[in-house]
Structure 1
Amino acid sequence: MKHKLKIVVLGLLLGIQSFAQEKLSLTLKDAQNYALEHNRTLKNASLSIREAEAARWQSLSAMLPQVDAGADYSNNLGHKLDLSGNKIAMPPSGTFSVTASIGASVSQIIGIKLNDISVKMADISRKQTEQQTVDQVKTLYYSILVMHESVGLLEKNLENLHQLFKHTEQSVEVGVAEQIAADQISVQIVTMETNIRSSKRSLEMLYNSLRLQMGVDVFTEISLSQNLPGLMDTDNALSLLNLDFILDKNYDYQLMQQNVEQLKTQVNMKKWAYAPSLSAYYRYTKIDYFSDESTFNMTPPNSIGATLSIPIFSSGNRSAALKETKLKYEAQLNTLADTEESLNIQHRQLCYNLSSAYDSFEAQKKNVEVSQRVFDNITRKYEHGMASSMDVTDASTNVVTAQNSYVQSLLEVVSAQIDLEQLLNVEK
């Protein structure tokens, strides 16, 4: 028993190790293509299209000929029919029948058009989900690269602080500096180490979010094969500002248009509720008696029939239903107009956001360079006794603040670019 348990545990460990060994090295385009193939939300969006198509066929098939076959057995347990003193046998019998029927109404035809609209809406939603998935992967890819750069900058600052701390301790030993100066730098070191650990935890969370978007398990190791300088294309981002906003290309607007078309079609369906409906059938019936006794069969082998149903009076039900749908249609037209206006305003706002984010990015990039030069200058002065430890601490804090602002401004450019690309629905 113990031997079997060891084998099971070993198998589990080997399975976990095989998961951990799986590794993906991806460019941004690779990650996006992988997500398009494996993202589960996107798969569900594709299934929604198939569901809508199945519902459409269900409505269409209801208007096509329907054929049903049936068979039954009856036994009256020897009972005989008394007809004016004449006994007529009712022997056991089996009946086989085939019925073909067809029925149609204008409301059914309009219902098929409603199903067509549902298929279109499902397809638009799938395309929108695809766009959102690609953009989410892009955001996470950039965020991971930015976080890596942030950790690298923090580790470089930590290295500088360690060197300063070592220099300060030596100065304390020879009596040219006070212990409080070394203590202040040690506090800076502890704070920096805490920030680095926090950033690394945030980095792992970003990787997990990317794994979720790509549809891979948690054991899959992901490495990004591109870097920020190779991906950052500010000229391409700023070129979006010169593109015209075409409403009909926007997925939100397309869905709203389909909602309006859907309600318009429902209004027509309610109007045709006053129209008659027609159905027809053909039935073939065959009866076999399981006895030689004489009897009679009054069931014709072939029969046809037709039914015309004409709505006459519904106590105002159909009229109220039509009025309700018309009111919904009018409200949806107002919503469409509001959507059109809000999307145009949103376009202007997103263009402004992108321009502002780019200006902030350029300013923060220069701020990092200046802050680093100031820190290096203060450090040299401190080493020669021309600056205090407080000056070094302030300069170090300013560098970290500038670096954080730079990283944030970079992400804001990427985020503003993606938002505008989504609105414009540009080819990526």
Structure 2
Amino acid sequence: MRKRIIIYAVGVLLFGSAQAQETISLTLAEAQNYALEHNRTLKNASLEVRKAEASRWQSLATMLPQVSASIEYNNMFDYSMDLGNFQISMPNSVTYGGTASVALSGAQVVGVQLKDISRKMSQITLEQTEQEVADQVKTIYYSALVLEKTASLLEQNLENLQKLFAFTQKSVDVGMSEQTDADKISVQVASMKTSVNTTRRSLEMAYNSLRLQLGLSVDTELKLSQTIDELMSMDNAVSLLQIDFNFDNNYDYQLLQQNVALAKKEVALKKWAYAPSLSAFYQYTKKDYMSDESTMNSTPPNMFGVTLNIPIFSSGSRKKAVQEATFSYEQQLNLFDDTRETLTIQHRQLSYNLKSNYETYETQKKNLEVVQRVFDNVSRKYEQGVASSLDVTNAGSDLISAQSSYVQALLEVVNARIELEQLLNVDDY
């Protein structure tokens, strides 16, 4: 009775756990959109944009009027000032005041422009991160589908080998074949089982990587609702080769443009150190004495002032600061030119990779079809007693090798396609 209770309790726990497990089925587009909403790296990039906007407004506020108010209470504890022939009592007082000020210089204007460039860079980085997350999801999604296809091919091979092993073992039992023939095929069966298990474990790792990109719990059951054949359009992949490379669409190029603009503004900022700065203020003060006696009040109720600060001599520090900023600007220009050349070469290389990988894929696809027919033919001949177990072993090894080459070629086309799409900043083309 006690064992039944324990078994029942364990069953309830397992059933409850299975019921609580969340299941999500996603297409590639749905997985990318889900990642854009829940990916933690992307959330941080979005916060950087908001931080840059807040910093920009802080700089802008320095050029706007600043207003402050104050109240001051003084208690002299009935102190009297002795002036020889007469004494002046110091009554308690309350002082109310307000000050409005504004300061303006060219450096402040340039500072706001610098913050504006930083905000634009944060926005570009956010868009680049979105692209990277979407591409990572696509890569993992494709990889998982390819592993699914690989596992399916291997399981098909395993099924064929198991049939051959069963046939061979029956032949051994009736004395028509040697036991060594069955042993050779049994080794192939065991090796194929190991390959299937290894592929399944790799597939689970791919699913875990995809869960991480989507921001899902490791306990969430994830199903991919599309197959590799549905997504893998070779015509679309090859058509990428016809797209001209536009520098302005590339996020790295956009960021570099902003870096050049930033360096140029830094030069302007250093030059503004030679310019005068202007500040003005207005102050209102009211002082109330807590005494009926007349008291001398030397505090003016209204005050206005203007300050013009003119830099004259800094022992060359301003000049060297301008030179330093100018050198940095020239470095950015050199880097900008190098990057244009690098991106042009990269585009040509990625286009070459895609074309070459596509040709390899087509070759491996035809090779797999031929090797599969050879294996099927050898298997039939072996069952008819025309072929030997060695022929089956060799044909099986050739089939496994052809399948591996086909899958590898397929993955290389996928990776080359995604890399070129990322450089061109196009998707689902």
Tell whether the 8 Å contact from 1:375 to 1:399 is kept in structure 2 after alignment.
yes
Question: What's the counterpart of residue 64 of structure 1?
Answer: 64
Distance 2:261 2:374 in 1: 63
Question: What's the counterpart of residue 283 of structure 2?
Answer: 283
Distance 2:73 2:14 in 1: 64
Question: What's the counterpart of residue 144 of structure 1?
Answer: 144
Matched, 1:208 2:204: no
Question: What's the counterpart of residue 424 of structure 1?
Answer: 424
Question: What's the counterpart of residue 408 of structure 2?
Answer: 408
Q: CA deviation at 1:10?
A: 12
Q: Secondary structure at the match of 2:64?
A: coil
Matched, 1:187 2:200: no
Distance 1:396 1:409 in 2: 20
Q: CA deviation at 1:15?
A: 8.3
Q: Secondary structure at the match of 2:395?
A: helix
The TM-score normalised by the length of structure 1 is 0.93
Distance 2:19 2:58 in 1: 46
The correspondence of residues 94-133 of structure 1 with structure 2, limited to 5 A, is 94-133=94-133
Question: What's the counterpart of residue 370 of structure 1?
Answer: 370
Tell whether the 8 Å contact from 1:88 to 1:294 is kept in structure 2 after alignment.
no
Unaligned runs of 5+ in 1: 1-8
Matched, 1:175 2:175: yes
Note the alpha carbon deviations across 1:334-392, whole angstroms, 9 max, x for none.
00000000000001001100001110111111111111111112222222333332322
Note the alpha carbon deviations across 1:375-417, whole angstroms, 9 max, x for none.
1122222223333323222211221121111111111111111
In structure 1, give the amino acid aligned to 2:206: L
Distance 2:247 2:328 in 1: 23
User: What is the number of residues matched between the two proteins?
Assistant: 419
Tell whether the 8 Å contact from 1:19 to 1:220 is kept in structure 2 after alignment.
no
Distance 1:111 1:10 in 2: 67
Q: CA deviation at 1:281?
A: 0.7
Note the alpha carbon deviations across 1:93-144, whole angstroms, 9 max, x for none.
2222111110010000011111111111111111111111111111111111
Distance 1:215 1:85 in 2: 86
In structure 1, give the amino acid aligned to 2:203: L
The correspondence of residues 77-96 of structure 1 with structure 2, limited to 5 A, is 77-96=77-96
In structure 1, give the amino acid aligned to 2:160: N
The TM-score normalised by the length of structure 2 is 0.93
In structure 2, give the amino acid aligned to 1:57: W
In structure 2, give the amino acid aligned to 1:142: Y
Q: Secondary structure at the match of 1:176?
A: coil
- Stretch moving more, 384-393 or 133-142: 384-393
The correspondence of residues 236-385 of structure 1 with structure 2, limited to 5 A, is 236-385=236-385
Question: What's the counterpart of residue 199 of structure 2?
Answer: 199
Tell whether the 8 Å contact from 1:67 to 1:99 is kept in structure 2 after alignment.
yes
Question: What's the counterpart of residue 5 of structure 2?
Answer: none
Question: What's the counterpart of residue 160 of structure 1?
Answer: 160
Distance 1:204 1:320, change over 3 A: same
In structure 1, give the amino acid aligned to 2:396: S
Distance 1:174 1:151 in 2: 35
Note the alpha carbon deviations across 1:252-282, whole angstroms, 9 max, x for none.
1111011001000110111111101111111
Note the alpha carbon deviations across 1:167-192, whole angstroms, 9 max, x for none.
12112222232222222222222221
Q: Secondary structure at the match of 1:91?
A: coil
Distance 1:212 1:19, change over 3 A: farther
Distance 1:110 1:11, change over 3 A: farther
Q: Percent identity?
A: 59
Tell whether the 8 Å contact from 1:89 to 1:294 is kept in structure 2 after alignment.
no
In structure 2, give the amino acid aligned to 1:114: L
Q: CA deviation at 1:77?
A: 2.7
Question: What's the counterpart of residue 6 of structure 1?
Answer: none
Distance 1:56 1:15 in 2: 52
